Structure 1
Amino acid sequence: MLKFAGVILILFAGTMIGMLQAARFAARPRQIRHLLHALQRLETEISYGQTPLPEALLTIATLVPKPLAGIFEEIANSLRNQAADTGETVRQCWERTIESRWHGTAMKQVEKEAFLRLGATLGSSGRDDQLKHIRLTMVQLQTEEATAREDQMRYEKLSRTLGALAAALVVILMV
């Protein structure tokens, strides 16, 4: 009976590991899409609303789901609070927040680097230059979204199956 319970637990654990990995493959293109939507909104806020950056980022934080909402909110709060007190630049607030919160996303290093490059230009150049960098980042992220969709189609089902099969192999080796 104890052996049977162990077999069930191993099969369950292996299947769940495969499901979790498949969920990460599915989450990446969705999060990139949300990030693209956020950048479109930021572009609108800068070009038409001429909204100060902290306020624009707080507005965006209310429009995108977690974990991206937390990133935008933390950047905005850093710009409001710490930048005023310590003299931190937009770039420093942006980079510190991205480095501390990026691990909570399903996105990869390529998206992180594009997002960091954008933060280096926001607040330090003219409005037109900022808009150009936002558009450039959006183009890069659109390319990465297409790649992420391909990866999702290729590896999502494979991850689920591989998790279950690996658990079955462990069970066979144990018995």
Structure 2
Amino acid sequence: MILPRYHIADSAIPGAGKGLFLDETVAAGRIITAPDGIDRTYRHADIHASAELMAQFHASARWFEDRYTLSPDWPDECYINHSFQPNGLWHLGFVFALTELPPGTEITVDYRHLLPPGESEDFADSATGETITGFSWSESLAGSTRALAELLDSSHADRDV
């Protein structure tokens, strides 16, 4: 579920296709997207063992440990693009605003949190040309937890809800 008002439009990121853009200001530390409608997760090994599931793997995201969702119907959250300098923090399926984001901002996250450990995207980062390779589960969780704690520590006094 996407919480702020938004629209889908051509991405400003070269080669990215469409992107998800805000229609309202989102304060630092606020949730942009939250998991909903997830009826099933799959173990990475089970996906690779099934031709039917592997055919949908291009539409996968890691949620926790070795568990992935498959979203072949492409919900609008799938239009969030990658950046090594993202404005959104992916943490356990939630995306938090890393700074105050004004209307018109295209939302980005670091795809290394969503990919299987050691597996690379079939495209490179558009800004750096670097390969986008999945973090291990412990690296992803530790890094996003630290980043979220720092973000909330620095912004919570202004916006407790």
What TM-score, normalized to structure 1?
0.32
Question: Higher helix proportion, which one?
Answer: 1
Question: Higher strand proportion, which one?
Answer: 2
**Bigger Rg over Cα:** 1
Structure with higher RCO (Cα < 8 A, 6+ apart): 1
